[in-house]
A = this chain, B = another copy of it.
Amino acid sequence: GDAKAGRAKAVGCQACHGLDGLSKLPDAPNLAGQVEPYLVKALTEFRNGTRKNEVMSVAAQDLSDADIANLAAYYSGIQIDVVPPG
Protein backbone atom coordinates (compact mmCIF):
# COMPACT_ATOMS: atom_id res chain seq x y z
CA GLY A 1 0.00 0.00 0.00
CA ASP A 2 0.89 3.63 -0.55
CA ALA A 3 0.92 5.43 2.79
CA LYS A 4 0.76 8.87 1.20
CA ALA A 5 -2.38 7.98 -0.74
CA GLY A 6 -3.71 6.40 2.43
CA ARG A 7 -3.23 9.61 4.33
CA ALA A 8 -5.30 11.46 1.74
CA LYS A 9 -8.05 8.83 1.97
CA ALA A 10 -7.94 8.91 5.79
CA VAL A 11 -9.67 12.27 5.71
CA GLY A 12 -12.84 10.15 5.62
CA CYS A 13 -11.76 8.20 8.73
CA GLN A 14 -10.49 10.96 10.93
CA ALA A 15 -13.75 12.00 12.58
CA CYS A 16 -13.75 8.69 14.47
CA HIS A 17 -10.19 7.36 14.25
CA GLY A 18 -8.15 10.57 14.04
CA LEU A 19 -5.69 11.43 11.34
CA ASP A 20 -3.07 10.37 13.90
CA GLY A 21 -4.88 7.06 14.46
CA LEU A 22 -6.04 7.92 17.96
CA SER A 23 -9.72 7.27 18.53
CA LYS A 24 -12.14 10.12 19.04
CA LEU A 25 -15.02 7.91 20.21
CA PRO A 26 -15.49 5.12 22.78
CA ASP A 27 -16.60 2.63 20.10
CA ALA A 28 -13.82 3.39 17.63
CA PRO A 29 -10.45 1.69 18.01
CA ASN A 30 -7.10 3.38 17.80
CA LEU A 31 -5.46 2.58 14.48
CA ALA A 32 -2.02 4.12 15.02
CA GLY A 33 0.67 1.53 14.51
CA GLN A 34 -1.86 -1.24 14.10
CA VAL A 35 -0.71 -4.42 12.36
CA GLU A 36 -1.01 -3.87 8.59
CA PRO A 37 -2.46 -7.27 7.54
CA TYR A 38 -4.96 -6.99 10.41
CA LEU A 39 -6.17 -3.64 9.07
CA VAL A 40 -6.50 -5.02 5.54
CA LYS A 41 -8.50 -7.94 6.89
CA ALA A 42 -10.75 -5.75 9.04
CA LEU A 43 -11.62 -3.39 6.18
CA THR A 44 -12.11 -6.25 3.74
CA GLU A 45 -14.43 -8.03 6.18
CA PHE A 46 -16.45 -4.87 6.78
CA ARG A 47 -16.75 -4.41 3.02
CA ASN A 48 -17.86 -7.98 2.30
CA GLY A 49 -20.16 -8.21 5.32
CA THR A 50 -18.23 -10.85 7.28
CA ARG A 51 -17.73 -8.27 10.00
CA LYS A 52 -20.51 -5.84 10.83
CA ASN A 53 -20.62 -2.41 12.41
CA GLU A 54 -23.19 0.32 11.92
CA VAL A 55 -20.64 2.84 10.74
CA MET A 56 -17.93 0.70 9.18
CA SER A 57 -20.22 -1.57 7.18
CA VAL A 58 -21.33 1.54 5.30
CA ALA A 59 -17.98 3.34 5.18
CA ALA A 60 -16.13 0.31 3.76
CA GLN A 61 -18.48 0.00 0.77
CA ASP A 62 -16.76 2.92 -0.92
CA LEU A 63 -13.26 1.49 -0.59
CA SER A 64 -11.39 -0.18 -3.44
CA ASP A 65 -8.76 -2.83 -2.81
CA ALA A 66 -6.15 -0.14 -3.38
CA ASP A 67 -7.84 2.20 -0.90
CA ILE A 68 -7.79 -0.56 1.71
CA ALA A 69 -4.11 -1.30 1.08
CA ASN A 70 -3.26 2.40 1.21
CA LEU A 71 -5.20 3.08 4.41
CA ALA A 72 -3.60 0.06 6.07
CA ALA A 73 -0.16 1.27 4.99
CA TYR A 74 -0.85 4.73 6.37
CA TYR A 75 -2.24 3.80 9.76
CA SER A 76 0.16 0.92 10.36
CA GLY A 77 3.04 3.22 9.53
CA ILE A 78 2.31 5.64 12.36
CA GLN A 79 4.96 4.98 14.94
CA ILE A 80 3.91 4.08 18.45
CA ASP A 81 6.02 3.59 21.53
CA VAL A 82 4.67 1.35 24.24
CA VAL A 83 5.53 1.92 27.85
CA PRO A 84 5.98 -1.64 29.18
CA PRO A 85 3.43 -2.43 31.88
CA GLY A 86 4.89 -2.65 35.39
- Where the two chains meet, the residues of A that have a C-beta atom closer than 8 Å to any C-beta of B are 7, 19-23, 26-30, 32-38, 41, 50-52, 74, 77-85
Contact = CB atoms under 8 A, between A and B. Distances in A.
Copies of this chain in its oligomeric complex = 2
Q: Is the interface of A mostly helix, strand, loop or mixed?
A: loop
A30 B34 CA distance: 6
Contacts of A74: 85
Contact of A41 (B20, B27, B37): B27
Nearest to A23: B35
Contacts of A7: 85
Given A27-B37, A35-B30, A41-B27, A81 B78 contact: no
A52 B50 CA distance: 8
